[in-house]
A and B are shown apart, each in its own frame.
Chain A
Amino acid sequence: MYVNLKHHTLLGALSAAFLCAAIPALATTPEHQERHFTVKGHPLVVLQNIVNGRIEVKSSKNPEIIVASTAANDRVAIDIEQVGDRIDINATSLAASSDPHEVEANFQLTVPEQTELQLRTQTGLIYVEQVNGDIKLQSVAGDIHLKEVSGYIIVKTTSGNLVCTQCGGKLDFNSISGGAQILQPTLNGISLMTMTGNILYDGDFIRNGSYTMNSGRGLIEVRFSGNDSFDLTTKNSTGTVDNQAAQFLKPDSHASRHEIRSYRRLQGTVGQGLAKVELSSYSGTIRILKRD
């Protein structure tokens, strides 16, 4: 009798424990929602994802914006509003816990090719592909991947990395520990600043373009082609310059020769020097090389 009672008690306790574990799991099952908005001209999408989550943006030929989201309804409030050609999307936490950032909301947006974007998230990846328009992206720890994007692009992260592939227009990147990779760009102006991250620029410099890359402690690597034409200036305080393309750099005829300074500087010209390239690092390495 005593053994049976003990057995039943144990079973009951296990059942209760199972139910307790299952109920929250059921309650937080993510739900998928999709909404369509008809727009004209060049729309603006503003997405503030105050919780964690991934944001993916792709374009289509249709004059509509599709917002697909996946989030647990009881933990995340997603508000979407259309005002003319502007779509405002806000994801905020409903969680009563002390850690609302652990709540997640993921978004998939389909927008017209000519769309202006302002996206902000905490930790998830932001991925934007084939969108032409001014773009402002902010992330704390999430990476940002851009592919075939053009416009005036502003990217700000705390530790997230940027990978920009075949991007055009102007790019402004600012981060503390995030790095930036600029691959096959058609950008005519960039300003990259990271305190400890690495910077890789692999591509051509467009005539009359202006390219500034700064990293406090990280590696800045620039790979240019033989057809490029640019004036190069490197500056560093305690870092080093690994110039693997010295034979392609002519003395810079445009440089000031009487400047008094206490940091180290290297100047040179490739081709006619039509673009302007400035690389600086406080204590990191600047590497310059020519692609095969």
Chain B
Amino acid sequence: MHCKDLESVLEAEGLTPLPSEAQQHLAGCQHCQDLLADFSAIAVAAKTIPAEMQPPDRIWVSVRAQLEAEGVIHEPVDVVEIAAAPQTWWSNFSALFRPRNLATVGVALALAIGAFLQTRKSSNPPIRSAANIPVGANVAAGTAPEANIVPQGTASKLALPSPSEAGVTLQQAEQDLPNIQLAGNSTVDSSLRQNLRTVNEFIAECELHLKLNPQDELAREYLFSAYQQKAELLAAMMDSGRSEN
């Protein structure tokens, strides 16, 4: 069995006890051990995410665009059902994130979504409801999601992860990067690394500002936007590294 075969087994059967052939390969392959460790960490992190969240439209648009770009989905997906199904939405959602980088992005995005919503607790403007996105809304076809409004305070009733959780998850993902061989000195990889530094600096700046001004909702919005950017950037870097393997 080779690494690709093991990935296929993981895709098909998940983290359930692996066949003996797969376990034999796993015992001697550091790469696959790391992969399995990543999936396990993601599964653990996923359990900490509340079952019901109503992220803003733009997050769904971003996730959907990412999935379409990766070719994971081709047909319109019933976002309402995914978002509304209690306890199982995350498992359905994460099932879409087969590749490792997407899984990481998924977790980070979900945490960022939760953290973003938390900032809305005290804000007066109503927030958009992803649950009300028209079924099958086709981003690529130019159908911009409607600005569906939910009453303020809905988000505040939810138990959500703290901003630091999103940051910690992303830091863990970043710590994996040294193990990934990027493409060396290419323009692409130097750009990715430079922008990762930029994002990290910006995150640090926002976090420091928020410690001193915890009520600054705008800074918090920028912080979560930076988390999302970082998650996508890490995914791109992992993708770049994987193209070498």
A residues contacting B by CB (< 8 A) are 50, 52, 93, 98-102, 116, 118, 120, 122-123, 134, 136, 138, 140-141, 151-152, 154, 156, 158-159, 169-170, 172, 174, 176-177, 189, 191, 193, 195-196, 214, 216-217, 235-238, 256, 259-263, 280, 282-283
Q: Which among A50, A100, A237 is the interface contact of B222 at CB below 8 angstroms?
A: A237
Known pairs A98-B183, A98-B184, A123-B188; A263 contacts B202 (CB<8 A): no
Asked if B194 contacts A159 (CB within 8 A), the reply is yes
Q: Are B236 and A263 in contact (CB under 8 A)?
A: no
CA distance A7 to B198 in the complex (A): 56
- The answer to the question of B226 belonging to the interface, with a C-beta cut-off of 8 Å to chain A, is yes
Q: Is the CB–CB distance between A235 and B218 below 8 Å?
A: yes
Min CB distance A191 to B, Å, is 8
Query: Once bound together, how far apart are the Cα atoms of A99 and B240, in whole Å?
Result: 10
CB-contact partner of B198 in A136, A177, A238, under 8 A: A177
Do A141 and B142 contact each other (CB < 8 Å), given the known contacts A136-B65, A259-B124?
no
Q: Which of B31-39, B42-50, B209-217 contacts A (4 or more CB under 8 A)?
A: B209-217
In the complex, which residues of chain A have a beta carbon less than 8 angstroms from the beta carbon of B195?
Answer: 158-159, 176-177
Partner pick for B142 among A98, A122, A151, A191, CB 8 A cutoff: A151
CB distance from B92 to the nearest CB of A (A): 25
Contact in complex: A176, B142 (CB < 8 Å): no
Tell me the interface secondary structure of chain B in the complex. helix
Give A65 to B229 CA distance when docked, in angstroms.
35
Closest to A93 in B: B243
Question: Among the listed A50, A120, A159, A237, which residue makes an inter-chain contact with B219, where contact means beta carbons less than 8 Å apart?
Answer: A237
When distances are taken between beta carbons in the complex, the residues of chain A under 8 Å from B243 are 50, 93, 100
Q: Which listed residue, A140, A196, A256, touches B202 by the CB 8 Å rule?
A: A196
Q: Which residues from chain A contact B194 at a C-beta distance below 8 Å?
A: 159, 177
Q: Is the CB of A158 within 8 A of B192?
A: yes
CA distance A199 to B203 in the complex (A): 21
B141 located at the interface, meaning its Cβ lies under 8 Å from any Cβ of chain A in the complex: yes
Checking B185, B188, B213, B233 against A262 with a beta-carbon cut-off of 8 angstroms, the contacting residue is B213
Task: Determine if B189 is an interface residue (Cβ-Cβ < 8 Å).
Answer: yes
